Amino acid sequence: MATIIDVAKRAGVAVTTVSRVINDKGQVKEETRDRVLAAIDELAYRPSPAARSLPRKRAHAVSVLVPFVTHPSAVARVQGIVHGLRKTDIPVTILDVEKPAHQSEHLDTLASSYRPEGAVIISLVPSERQLARFAEVELCPVFIDADIPEFSRIFIDDRTGGVLATDHLIGLGHRRIAFIGDIENGSFGFESSAKRHQGYRDALRVAGLEAESRYQRTGPHGSDISRQIAHELLTLPDPPTAIFASSDTQAIGVMEAAKEARVKIPTELSVIGFDDIEISAYLGLTTVRHPLYESGLIAAELVIEHIRDPSCAPRRVEQELEVIVRSTTGPPRD
Amino acid sequence: MATIIDVAKRAGVAVTTVSRVINDKGQVKEETRDRVLAAIDELAYRPSPAARSLPRKRAHAVSVLVPFVTHPSAVARVQGIVHGLRKTDIPVTILDVEKPAHQSEHLDTLASSYRPEGAVIISLVPSERQLARFAEVELCPVFIDADIPEFSRIFIDDRTGGVLATDHLIGLGHRRIAFIGDIENGSFGFESSAKRHQGYRDALRVAGLEAESRYQRTGPHGSDISRQIAHELLTLPDPPTAIFASSDTQAIGVMEAAKEARVKIPTELSVIGFDDIEISAYLGLTTVRHPLYESGLIAAELVIEHIRDPSCAPRRVEQELEVIVRSTTGPPRD
DNA sequence: CTGTTAGCGCGTTCAG
DNA sequence: CTGAACGCGCTAACAG
């Protein structure tokens, strides 16, 4: 592996000059530059990222902090980020968060002397102290699914999404509408499900419908658990005629439970989800769509922008919501 | 940020000693170690990965080289890798390959002085020269979906998989069986589709059936193109009664084409795919399953093993195939 | 068992 | 416009 010294020798210049042409900094005479470029080419020289990171105090990478990489919505967003960053030569580092402890662990890394050039933080809300540290070390993270005023972020109005979903059901004529969501106040600080839940309550109230507590259930995220909850709901004396699940994953669980209980969708039960993950179109699931892949793409753009211009001016991107009506919702039978 | 020097001072020892306890190398008296550990704790010291990488000549990371991160099968494998590595503190770097040029670019990085501690290479076959370079720099990459004798690899017998799929169709009584696969001899050097295709031909021959060329089509990977090809197949004077698609993604395209042409599955047309991606179960797609997520998990294990023991003894893991019969295949009507 | 001394490859003042 | 020298934080011989 050729080093910067080899290049300097070959070009008959000092390492400083080589450094200058590599980083396109300072003035270098056209002729000298060409000589250096030639040497770089001949030696197939590539600067060592590690050696570079040391004085710069930043790694040539963009870190993506993501809870549960297995969640379909996370997958879509990460894909968007990877693709958006593909136009640069910046590698993407995945920091997976499966347990609460992982979160602060990775957050610390982001604010350490080995911080990356850029970062995307998905569905996580750091503490004020952590936010302050980002500012100190001049890292401009981009948030997805969290509205952090201090930094750039891409998000949706979850509460309104909950209203949209519930209104769709109400408009169809449903009156016994259940809600299935994630555990609220969980250890990760996710808030989207709780906000969608709030939207559900608001919509019901506006429509003059009572939000009965036996129709509102929460549990750990996942289709299995949701299936179990749906089963309970369907065996109630007066089961709901419609269920709003705060994610498509959970809505799929509901569909499974209905199938097992031989409850026909949408005639006997309407189901609406949230997210519009890839699989939903195939299943004909009615859902509230927000652009998952695009959110990653935009995040990548913002990260690139912040790397170019370290002023870190926060940008705010609110994405549109849209109810995608497919075949799991319809008017109630009774 | 505290450095190793701060820790040394605070503990009243030399930096070397601190380094020793951090890396658990060499002998350090219990008492001294405790003092160092205490200092590390008090200062919340964390070694700088960059500074560490420089003398070590390796980055503290595992790189995953993956073509088309958007492919469902790639997603499942990457998830397995990330999860398998979660037990360590090693970050995972995604190196996406969308264009042929990206491949050698990333491969070079893997063999540079900034090489990672470990690497997983998915569905790609490096040249002999590149393979030799890995050995030179003592990188022990783990291959998934490529049987490279020099290194550890996890793979399946694609040809046999093709036989399995085709035999399933033949066993059902089909005689006009079509094949849809990826372009062979493409610029990425993927071989799995071609091998599955070979299995198809072999199975037909053994069964005494003629492999007619008009029933064998290839095209760029993706359900849209597959849908188009299936459409052509279905409008043939004597359309096939069954189609074997070399991937589930393509099989889904076939199902869409059938739906558009009002061809009933499985009564009028049987469809079998390959891979058993997540969505297939929901669609009721009959397919040849191989453990995608597990392949990533195993790759992670092997990477960890190779990092611990740099002897790099290649391991060979061949995964089992299984025909998962669901509802898209059945006996032909005529 | 522990400390001293060189680098690792590059960026960055500061002179010239 | 160019170069010399120092330092980034850590590991690795080499002594003691």
Give the H/E segment covering residue B272: strand B270-275
Say if residue B279 is in the same domain as residue B302.
no
Q: How far is CA B237 from CA A317, B215, B232, B233, in A?
A: 54, 12, 10, 9
- B114 close to A49: Cβ distance less than 8 angstroms: yes
pLDDT at B190: 84
B48 lies in a domain? no
B2/chain A closest Cα distance in angstroms: 10
Say if residue B33 is in the same domain as residue B123.
no
Encode chain A in three state secondary structure: CCCHHHHHHHHCCCHHHHHHHHHCCCCCCHHHHHHHHHHHHHHCCCCCHHHHHHHHCCEEEEEEEEECCCCHHHHHHHHHHHHHHCCCCCCEEEEEECCHHHHHHHHHHHCCCCCEEEEEEECCCCCHHHHHHHHHCCCCCEEECCCCCCCEEEECCHHHHHHHHHHHHHHCCCCCEEEEEECCCCCCCCCHHHHHHHHHHHHHHHCCCCCCHHHEEEECCCHHHHHHHHHHHHCCCCCCCEEEECCHHHHHHHHHHHHHCCCCCCCCCEEEEEECCHHHHHHCCEEEECCHHHHHHHHHHHHHHHHHCCCCCCCEEECCCEEECCCCCCCCCC
Q: Is the CB of A20 under 7 A from strand D?
A: yes
Tokens standing for residue A183:
């555990």
A50 lies in a domain? no
Are β-strands A286-289 and A322-324 bridged in parallel, bridged antiparallel, or unpaired? antiparallel
**pLDDT of A37-52, one tens digit each?**
999 999 999 999 999 9
A274 lies in a domain? yes
Please give the angle made by the CA atoms of A243, A247 and A248, to the nearest 5 degrees.
Answer: 85
pLDDT at B21: 93
Q: How far is CA B181 from CA A69, A96, A265, B148, B197, in A?
A: 30, 34, 36, 23, 7
- B218 close to B181: Cβ distance less than 8 angstroms: yes
Classified as helix, coil or strand, B202 is helix
Which residue has its C-alpha nearest to nucleotide D2's C1'? A17
Say if residue A146 is in the same domain as residue A177.
no
State how far the Cα of B230 lies from the Cα of A196, in Å rounded to an integer: 42
**Which of left, alpha, beta for B17 (phi over 0: left; psi -120 to 50: alpha)?**
alpha
- B103 close to B83: Cβ distance less than 8 angstroms: no
| Residues B270-296 as b or e (16 or more Cβ within 10 Å = b) | bbbbbbbbbbbeebebbbbbbbbbbbb
Residues 27-66 of A with CB under 8 A from B: 46, 48-51, 53-54, 57, 59, 61, 63
**Best to test chain A binding among B89, B90, B282 (most A CBs inside 10 Å):** B282
Number of Cα atoms under 13 Å in the Cβ half of residue A271 = 33
Nucleotide nearest to A2 (CA to C1'): C9
B259 touches chain A (CB under 8 A): no
Nucleotide nearest to B52 (CA to C1'): D10
The residues near B249 (Cβ < 8 Å, ≥ 6 apart) are: B71, B72, B221, B222, B223, B226, B273, B275, B277
Say if residue B244 is in the same domain as residue B163.
yes
Q: Is the CB of B310 under 7 A from strand D?
A: no
Residues facing strand C, Cβ within 7 A: A 1, 3-5, 15-16, 19-20, 22-23, 25, 45, 47-48, 51-52, 54-56; B 12-17, 20, 26-29, 31-33, 54-55, 57, 113
Tokens standing for residue B133:
């370079």
Q: Smallest Cα–Cα separation from A246: which of A319, A180, A321?
A: A180
Residue A113 identity (one-letter amino acid):
S
A328 lies in a domain? no
Q: Smallest Cα–Cα separation from A179: which of A213, A156, A147?
A: A213
**pLDDT of A249-282, one tens digit each?**
999 999 999 999 999 999 999 999 999 999 999 9
Total structural domains within chain B: 3
| Residues B115-150 as b or e (16 or more Cβ within 10 Å = b) | bbbbbbbbbbbbeeebbebbeeeebbbbbbbbebee
**pLDDT of A209-228, one tens digit each?**
999 999 999 999 999 999 99
- B61 close to B139: Cβ distance less than 8 angstroms: no
B330 lies in a domain? no
The verdict on a CB contact (< 8 Å) between B69 and A82 is yes
- A198 close to A111: Cβ distance less than 8 angstroms: no
Q: Which nucleotides of C are covered by protein (CB under 7 A)?
A: 1-5, 7-13
Residue A135 identity (one-letter amino acid):
A
A283 touches chain B (CB under 8 A): yes
Q: How far is CA A266 from CA A222, A334, B8, B82, in A?
A: 22, 13, 69, 38
State how far the Cα of B318 lies from the Cα of A145, in Å rounded to an integer: 41
Say if residue B224 is in the same domain as residue B280.
yes
Residues of B in contact with A119 (CB under 8 A): none
Q: Is the CB of B307 under 7 A from strand D?
A: no
Please report, rounded to whole angstroms, the spatial distance between the CA atom of protein residue B57 and the C1' atom of nucleotide D11.
10
Residue B21 identity (one-letter amino acid):
V
Q: Is the CB of B5 under 7 A from strand D?
A: yes
Q: Smallest Cα–Cα separation from B285: which of B244, B328, B247?
A: B328
Q: Smallest Cα–Cα separation from B227: which of B261, B270, B256?
A: B256
B281 touches chain A (CB under 8 A): no
For chains A and B, count residue pairs whose Cβ atoms are closer than 8 Å. 94
Residues of B in contact with A77 (CB under 8 A): none
B132 touches chain A (CB under 8 A): no
A4/chain B closest Cα distance in angstroms: 13
State how far the Cα of B143 lies from the Cα of B145, in Å rounded to an integer: 6
Which residue has its C-alpha nearest to nucleotide C8's C1'? B55
- Reply yes or no: is the peptide bond before residue A266 cis, omega within 30 of 0: yes
Say if residue B35 is in the same domain as residue B134.
no
The verdict on a CB contact (< 8 Å) between A48 and B83 is no
Please report, rounded to whole angstroms, the spatial distance between the CA atom of protein residue A16 and the C1' atom of nucleotide D5.
11
Q: Is the CB of B23 under 7 A from strand D?
A: yes
State how far the Cα of A101 lies from the Cα of A117, in Å rounded to an integer: 24
How many whole angstroms from its chain centre is CA A203?
26
The verdict on a CB contact (< 8 Å) between B94 and A91 is yes
Please give the angle made by the CA atoms of A50, A56 and A57, to the nearest 5 degrees.
Answer: 80
Tokens standing for residue B19:
């380094």
Domain around A237? 158-290
B86 touches chain A (CB under 8 A): yes
Say if residue A196 is in the same domain as residue A235.
yes
**Best to test chain B binding among A113, A117, A223, A278 (most B CBs inside 10 Å):** A113
Residues of B in contact with A91 (CB under 8 A): 63, 93-95
Predicted confidence pLDDT, tens digits, chain B (334 residues): 889 999 999 999 999 999 999 998 888 898 999 999 999 999 999 999 999 999 999 999 999 999 988 889 999 999 999 999 999 989 999 999 988 888 888 988 888 877 899 999 999 999 999 999 898 888 999 999 999 999 999 999 999 999 999 999 999 999 999 999 999 987 777 889 999 999 999 999 999 999 999 999 999 999 999 999 999 999 999 999 999 999 999 999 999 999 999 999 999 999 999 999 999 999 999 999 999 999 999 999 999 999 988 888 999 999 999 999 999 999 998 6
Tokens standing for residue B174:
């089909």
Say if residue B198 is in the same domain as residue B124.
no
Say if residue B30 is in the same domain as residue B96.
no
State how far the Cα of B121 lies from the Cα of B152, in Å rounded to an integer: 11
DSSP structural state of residue B36: H
Average pLDDT value over all residues in chain A: 93
Say if residue A284 is in the same domain as residue A194.
yes
Nucleotide nearest to A26 (CA to C1'): D1
The verdict on a CB contact (< 8 Å) between A93 and B91 is yes
Please report, rounded to whole angstroms, the spatial distance between the CA atom of protein residue A55 and the C1' atom of nucleotide D1.
24
Place of tokens 């295949």: B329
The CATH number of residue B298's host domain is 3.40.50.2300
A326 lies in a domain? no
DSSP structural state of residue B213: G
- A204 close to A166: Cβ distance less than 8 angstroms: yes
B98/chain A closest Cα distance in angstroms: 9
A327 lies in a domain? no
- A65 close to A119: Cβ distance less than 8 angstroms: yes
Say if residue B174 is in the same domain as residue B149.
no
Say if residue A130 is in the same domain as residue A164.
no
Please report, rounded to whole angstroms, the spatial distance between the CA atom of protein residue B29 and the C1' atom of nucleotide D13.
21
State how far the Cα of A161 lies from the Cα of B73, in Å rounded to an integer: 31
DSSP structural state of residue B118: E
Nucleotide nearest to B1 (CA to C1'): D9
Are β-strands A177-182 and A216-219 bridged in parallel, bridged antiparallel, or unpaired? parallel
The verdict on a CB contact (< 8 Å) between A114 and B49 is yes
Q: How far is CA A74 from CA A68, A77, A270, B4, B65, in A?
A: 7, 5, 26, 37, 20
A332 lies in a domain? no
Residue A283 identity (one-letter amino acid):
L
**pLDDT of A106-135, one tens digit each?**
998 888 877 899 999 999 999 999 999 898
Predicted confidence pLDDT, tens digits, chain A (334 residues): 789 999 999 999 999 999 999 998 888 898 999 999 999 999 999 999 999 999 999 999 999 999 988 889 999 999 999 999 999 989 999 999 988 888 888 998 888 877 899 999 999 999 999 999 898 888 999 999 999 999 999 999 999 999 999 999 999 999 999 999 999 987 777 889 999 999 999 999 999 999 999 999 999 999 999 999 999 999 999 999 999 999 999 999 999 999 999 999 999 999 999 999 999 999 999 999 999 999 999 999 999 999 988 888 999 999 999 999 999 999 998 6
DSSP E strand boundaries for B8-133: 59-67, 92-97, 116-122
